Every structure is written in C-alpha cells, then in structure tokens.
Amino acid sequence: MTEHTQLVKSCLQNDRASQKELYRCFADTMLGVCYRYTKSQADAEDILQEGFVKVFKNLHQYRSEGELGAWIRRIMVTTALNYLKRNVRYQGQMAFDEVSLHPVADDDPRVDLETKELVGLIRQLPAGYQMIFNLHVVEGYTHVEIGQLLGISEGTSRSQYARARALLITWIKKNYSGHERITYAQ
C-alpha cells in the first residue's frame, strides 16, 4: 500500500479531479525524465502528454505494492523511446551500429556540475547515445535490458554507452576545467 492508493482508486473511477491531482503530483518530475531524452522542451511535453494518457488508461494494471512514481516513470521512459523511434527528427541519430564490445574508459572525473548543466550536456549527445546513456546511468537498466528494449545486441548497447560516456567526460573536462566551452555540432 502506498500513499497514493486512494488517489489511484479515484482515478480508476475516472474521477477527473483525482486524475488532475495525480498529474499535479508527478508532472514536474516526469517532465524532467522526458526532458533528458529529448532535444527540446516541446518534445518532452509531447511525451509527457502521451505518457500520462497512457498512465490513466493503464492504471488498472498498477499493483499498489509498487511505488507509483516508479511505475509512472517507466511508462514515461518507454513512451519517450517510442516517441524518439517514430519521430523523424531523431531517426537520423538513432542508427545503432552493430559493433563488438567496447572497453569503458577508465576516466572517472569528479562531477561537480549543477544538475541543469549536466543534463544540458547529456542532451547534447546524439539521440542514440543520449538514450542509452540515460537508460543505463539514470534509469539503471542493464545492457541486456537495453538491448531488448531497443532491439539491439547487448554489445552494441555497451559500445554506444562507452562512446557516450567518453564524449561526455571530454566535454566535462573541456567545459569545466578552464578550457573553452564546446558546443556539440550535429
């Protein structure tokens, strides 16, 4: 049982006020999730809208023993992935090369950036890198799971992640170690 059990029950009865309350509780956090996967806030809001509609229509499948926020978050993530897959603007950056395992860089820089700056850097990654980086680092998916989600091999996921990580570390070093700021050009 969670603190949102009653709210969920009301939402299941299609009570509009409860649905709005549920939205109000989670909208800003979930928009933050969607924002990390997109290049613009408008796209993030499109995903948020689609995701919440999906949440309300599938709320009967939510088991109250789980954390409601985590459940909604997973829906937002999968909604974001599908949004990116079918959106033409992202498709050019979504080609995953089938490559062999790629060693992860040993660099382990201290990350003293503010959240906004760090997310800004992640969002500058190519969409494919950005997606895998978010799935692995932020959402905690394993590479096996990412491979199944995106229809790619585990090795490809690892390789893409390694590249994304290396690129991000380079940018962090350059931007926040006294070097001139780099803006990633597509």
- Give the C-alpha distances (Å, rounded to integers) separating 66 from 5, 21, 33, 153, 181: 10, 19, 19, 30, 43
Contact letters for another protein, residues 47-86 (x by CB under 8 A):
-xxx-xxxxxxx--xxx--xx-xxx-xxxxxxx--xx-xx
Query: Considering the rule CB under 8 A, would residue 107 count as an interface residue with another protein?
Result: yes
Stretch that binds another protein, among 46-54, 90-98, 124-132, 175-183 (CB under 8 A): 46-54
Q: Smaller CB distance to another protein: residue 53 or 182?
A: 53
Where do runs of H (alpha helix) occur along 102-142? 115-123, 127-133
With contact defined as beta carbons under 8 Å apart, do 37 and 73 qualify?
A: no
CA distance 137 to 104: 13
Distances (CA, A) of 44 to 48, 86, 159, 160, 169: 6, 14, 26, 23, 25
Nearest to 37 by CA among 24, 27, 47: 47
State yes or no: residue 21 binds another protein (CB under 8 A): no
- Minimum separation from the CB atom of position 155 to another protein (A): 18
Residue 115 engages another protein in binding (rule: CB under 8 A):
yes
Residue ranges in contact with another protein by CB under 8 A: 14-16, 19-20, 23, 27-29, 31-33, 35-36, 41, 44-45, 48-50, 52-58, 61-63, 66-67, 69-71, 73-79, 82-83, 85-86, 107-111, 113-116, 118-119, 122, 136-140, 145, 148-149, 165, 169
